[in-house]
A and B are shown apart, each in its own frame.
Chain A
Amino acid sequence: MGLAENQLSFDLLESWLASNPDAVGMKRNGGSVFRELALFQDYHGLPAFKNELVKLMSKIRGDKVRFDSNKLVLTAGATSANETLMFSLADPGEAFLLPTPYYPGFDRDLKWRPDVEIVPIHCSSSNGFKITMPALEEAYERAQRLNLKVKGVLVTNPSNPLGTTLTRQELNHLITFAVAKEIHIISDEIYSGTVFDSPRFISITEAVIDRNLQETDLWSRIHIVYSLSKDLGMPGFRIGMIYSNNEKAVAAATKMSSFGLISSQTQFLLANMLADTKFTSKYMKENQRRLKKRKDMLVSGLKTAGIKCLKSNAGLFCWVDMRKLLVSNTFEAEKELWKKIIFEVGLNISPGSSCHCTEPGWFRVCFANMSEETLQVSMRRIKEFVETILIIGNGCSSKQQQRSGSVIGKWVSKLSSSDPEPDR
């Protein structure tokens, strides 16, 4: 339950493939395009594919924004897109502000090779972890005290790990802040197609247009990251992209994409799939319906165990409040609780500290990467575990320990394998 994969709607994709042999067999109008594809390594990307992507992005935003395929840069996954943006917008040692909690992989994607610093914007449960103006200002000042030059803010909208979309107010704070400080805004909108409930998704672009700032400097400091890994559940295909209004950034990122281009075979398949707009509409709608159902199942399951979740409307996970299960309000206690959940309950969930949350006791729990039956099993386990903890207080009785020890099985061996990858 630590891996944010979307496995709910493969049946829809599979049936599309069965009905579209041309896309599959690398044919166009019956004639083979294999040779063209095998040779195609142009870092501008397959035009047909980019055209479909901008149409898809527009549709996801309720057609409130139009995108230009010339401003789209294809990269091998959003992982590569974020790193590439760092290389393009910041020099080593410069900094980006990120609201906490944030996706743990950002530590690698932003800091590792580009050597960019992350300065967290502290968000708190007191207001549902929303971004506030004081928090933004405080982060900026902290960066200054550390002698770090802030180049921009990076937000994930919808948020990972919160599963919430940014409110209009938060977007406006970001915009006001970025205008005042003359910095970039990167909006990682990788989960934009997973919004399954109100409020509706408002993209950074829409928010800027609504403030009438398209003709100002800020416009060329707005960059969006997107991918098909979450919305279409195809992380293996490595389809990521950067959308930027900044010509120079697009030019630089395009050249950099040479280090991680998308396989032409995959570009061709997806260009065909996305061109079937009837299919993609149907898919997105159905996928969102299934995500909502699954999320509701998790939330109500946890509720019967007395566990609350942050109210969410998007994403493949819930942000779960387990603070009352902590023996003390510390990260050590969170770690202890986490170990218990992994080894005794047999559930792999992600502790808030790995997401740089400032308050201990929160966990990200994914719900879209398993069958319904498995989710039911997880719910039962959590319920039992919580009951045990709350009744006994500080741990399990020996009788309870025996019972819960039996679920250790494959989870332990899975965890002890080397090279754990950061959960997305």
Chain B
Amino acid sequence: MATLSKIATNDRHGENSPYFDGWKAYDRNPFHPTQNPEGVIQMGLAENQLCFDLIKEWISKNPSASICTAEGVDEFKDIANFQDYHGLPEFRQAVAKFMSRARGGRVTFDPQRVVVAGGATGANELITFCIADPGDAFLVPSPYYPAFDRDLGWRTGVKIVPVNCYSSNNFQITREAVEEAYKKAREANINVKGLIITNPSNPLGTTLHRDTLESLVNFVNENNIHLVVDEIYAATVFNSPKLVSITEVIEKMDSNINRDNIHVIYSLSKDMGLPGFRVGIVYSYNDTVVNCGRKMSSFGLISSQTQYLLASMLNDDEFVDNFLAESSKRLDKRYHTFTKGLEQIGIKCLKSNAGLFFWMNLGHLLKEQTLEGEMELWRMIINDVKLNVSPGSSFQCTEPGWFRVCFANMDDETVHVALNRIGAFVCQGQETSTQPTKKKRWQKKNDLRLSFSSRMISEESVMSPHKNMMSPHSPIPRSPLVRA
């Protein structure tokens, strides 16, 4: 009986990770403000839903950008026929321009180096096929985006060697950590082909410092391995410091740096909130990679209909500038609403300036400082609090208790509901707890109580007038796991 392939029957697609269990819980019981107010709120999906109004407005005002309207249908035939893997020239130009604007115009991109791919998912797999063979490995700083295991390794046969980062220095990547991981891999006879970093980081939401980037460029240059920087969140930077793109760093470094080893991954899924349109980009300084990548893009070309629409949209300078500015503003507001609200109930988050999520520390709520402890807390958050957040372990974080929480994929009302639920959850823990040792730890937080309750009542953005589940007398966070 002819079997299926090993790839088809192994687990390297990664869908058995808890990362997806949360999604399943949401799918079974999705929250809706009126139709299902007790449902699970999706906070595990990094979508950017804050600026659709701007895009919709543009589309209505620009009917000729669609090949299906009376104004645009004359282009229908040519566009419907267009399957050239070089991509629509005007689309590549518009994307190169947009990438530049998203980096404040501090660097320009050459449209000839833009390779289209099926979403960043397709782009990451494509670059891997171009620069690595089955059995080779990439260094990837942890915590990292869970689907990298699938994108970089499933069909390509390439391994990931994590470079662990720690909260002691805010999870920053250091050259020392990378070198250490590289050395260990080499000693184990693993052929490391490159280093892959995400900047801004998923799940941390932080951007890399210029000198860190320079040291990483020097590292890959000295060891003649590749550097792939996934800049999918480039335009989600909502606070200083500004994004330092790898392209900016390269432009300013010495000519002894081999640019052939530097590649950028990009997409419009996060910056513009259009994951459904499957716009992925591989940008490489390496001509061979560009040529090979172009041919491979045949396996996941962007629909010409979509390329045409977006070429027009991204060429509209006024629209783009306004969009980028407005998007940052809205992300900033949302971020602060959440992190302030959480701070008031004693929950700390990693200070971040980008992304569609924050990295929340619930270590103090764990029964045990272990992976199991984290999983137990996580299940409680999903099943009892009914929030789908992502546990740090699914990002290969080595310290238990961290969770990624997405904030840009819901409306303002849902934000209130989510905050209220978290608040109720931690307060509930405090009320039922009988362990004196725990009390000691939280004593220093007592002074939060009064200021918390008054601020909670007055701060409109946090309180929901109809669903006030907060008890004004018990803001002190306690693990609800700790019960008599």
Q: Which residues of A contact B (CB under 8 A)?
A: 5, 7, 10, 13-14, 17-18, 21, 23-26, 32, 34-35, 37-41, 76-77, 79-80, 83, 87-92, 94, 108, 113, 151-152, 182-184, 217, 221, 229, 233-238, 246, 248-249, 252-253, 255-256, 258-266, 269, 419, 421
Q: Is B9 an interface residue (CB 8 A)?
A: yes
Partner of A182, one of B1, B15, B73, B119: B1
Partner of B275, one of A39, A92, A221, A269: A39
Contact, CB under 8 Å: B118 / A266: no
Q: Is B47 an interface residue (CB 8 A)?
A: yes
Q: Which residues in A have their C-beta under 8 angstroms from that of B154?
A: 256
A325-B299 Cα distance, complex, nearest whole Å: 38
Q: If the complex has contacts A76-B300, A269-B68, are A263 and B277 also in contact, measured as CB distance less than 8 A?
A: yes
Q: If the complex has contacts A80-B299, A265-B303, are A258 and B121 also in contact, measured as CB distance less than 8 A?
A: yes
Q: Which residues in B have their C-beta under 8 angstroms from that of A419?
A: 85-86, 291, 294-295
Q: Is B327 an interface residue (CB 8 A)?
A: no
A210 smallest CB distance to B (angstroms):
22
A14-B125 Cα distance, complex, nearest whole Å: 36
Q: Is B79 an interface residue (CB 8 A)?
A: yes
Contact, CB under 8 Å: B2 / A38: no
Partner of A89, one of B2, B125, B309: B2
Partner of B4, one of A13, A88, A108: A88
Which residues 70-126 of B sit at the A interface, judged by CB distance below 8 A? 70, 73, 76-77, 79-86, 118-119, 121-122, 125
A79-B300 Cα distance, complex, nearest whole Å: 9
Residue contacts A-B, CB under 8 angstroms, 23 given: A5-B81, A14-B76, A21-B69, A23-B68, A24-B69, A38-B274, A39-B49, A39-B273, A39-B275, A41-B269, A79-B298, A79-B299, A80-B299, A152-B2, A236-B81, A236-B83, A238-B83, A249-B8, A260-B301, A261-B119, A262-B278, A263-B278, A419-B85
Partner of A236, one of B5, B82, B273, B276: B82
A152-B276 Cα distance, complex, nearest whole Å: 34
Contact, CB under 8 Å: A34 / B70: no
With A90-B5, A262-B278 known, 8 other A-B pairs at CB within 8 A are A13-B76, A13-B80, A17-B68, A76-B299, A108-B298, A151-B2, A235-B83, A252-B9
Contact, CB under 8 Å: A252 / B4: yes
Q: Which residues in B have their C-beta under 8 angstroms from that of A421?
A: 84-85, 298
Contact, CB under 8 Å: A263 / B303: yes
Q: Which residues in A have their C-beta under 8 angstroms from that of B269?
A: 41
Q: If the complex has contacts A108-B298, A151-B2, A259-B300, are A41 and B276 also in contact, measured as CB distance less than 8 A?
A: yes
A184-B5 Cα distance, complex, nearest whole Å: 12
Contact, CB under 8 Å: B49 / A35: yes
B57 smallest CB distance to A (angstroms):
11
A203-B302 Cα distance, complex, nearest whole Å: 30
Q: Which residues in B have their C-beta under 8 angstroms from that of A248?
A: 4, 8-9
Range, interface on chain B: 35 or more
Q: Which residues in B have their C-beta under 8 angstroms from that of A260?
A: 118, 122, 278, 299-301
Q: If the complex has contacts A14-B76, A87-B7, are A236 and B305 also in contact, measured as CB distance less than 8 A?
A: yes
Q: Which residues in A have their C-beta under 8 angstroms from that of B7?
A: 87-88, 91, 252
Q: Which residues in A have their C-beta under 8 angstroms from that of B134?
A: 92
Contact, CB under 8 Å: A87 / B1: no
Q: Which residues in B have their C-beta under 8 angstroms from that of A13?
A: 76, 80
Partner of B273, one of A10, A38, A89, A221: A38
Contact with A along B1-30 (1 / 0, CB 8 A): 110111111000101000000000000000
Contact, CB under 8 Å: B278 / A261: yes
Contact, CB under 8 Å: B8 / A14: no
Partner of A10, one of B47, B69, B77: B77
Contact, CB under 8 Å: B2 / A221: yes
Q: Which residues in A have their C-beta under 8 angstroms from that of B449?
A: none
B52: nearest chain-A partner, CB-CB: A35
4 interchain residue pairs of minimum CB distance: A260-B300, A236-B304, A264-B276, A24-B68
Q: Which residues in B have their C-beta under 8 angstroms from that of A39?
A: 47, 49, 273, 275-276
Q: Which residues in B have their C-beta under 8 angstroms from that of A37?
A: 276
Q: Is B56 an interface residue (CB 8 A)?
A: yes
A229-B304 Cα distance, complex, nearest whole Å: 12
Q: If the complex has contacts A14-B76, A88-B5, A421-B85, are A263 and B122 also in contact, measured as CB distance less than 8 A?
A: no
Q: If the complex has contacts A233-B81, A263-B305, are A184 and B2 also in contact, measured as CB distance less than 8 A?
A: yes
Q: Which residues in B have their C-beta under 8 angstroms from that of A7?
A: 77, 81
Contact, CB under 8 Å: B81 / A238: no
Q: If the complex has contacts A255-B13, A265-B305, A265-B306, are A249 and B4 also in contact, measured as CB distance less than 8 A?
A: yes
Q: Is B282 an interface residue (CB 8 A)?
A: no
Q: Is B202 an interface residue (CB 8 A)?
A: no
Partner of B5, one of A40, A91, A182: A91
A14-B15 Cα distance, complex, nearest whole Å: 42
Q: Which residues in B have their C-beta under 8 angstroms from that of A18?
A: 70, 73
Contact, CB under 8 Å: A40 / B80: no
B299: nearest chain-A partner, CB-CB: A80
A16 smallest CB distance to B (angstroms):
10
Contact, CB under 8 Å: A34 / B52: yes
A85 smallest CB distance to B (angstroms):
10
B273: nearest chain-A partner, CB-CB: A38
Contact, CB under 8 Å: B296 / A113: yes
Q: Is B59 an interface residue (CB 8 A)?
A: yes
Contact, CB under 8 Å: B299 / A259: yes
A404-B155 Cα distance, complex, nearest whole Å: 51
Partner of A41, one of B80, B86, B119: B119
Q: Is B358 an interface residue (CB 8 A)?
A: no
A238-B56 Cα distance, complex, nearest whole Å: 24
B20 smallest CB distance to A (angstroms):
11
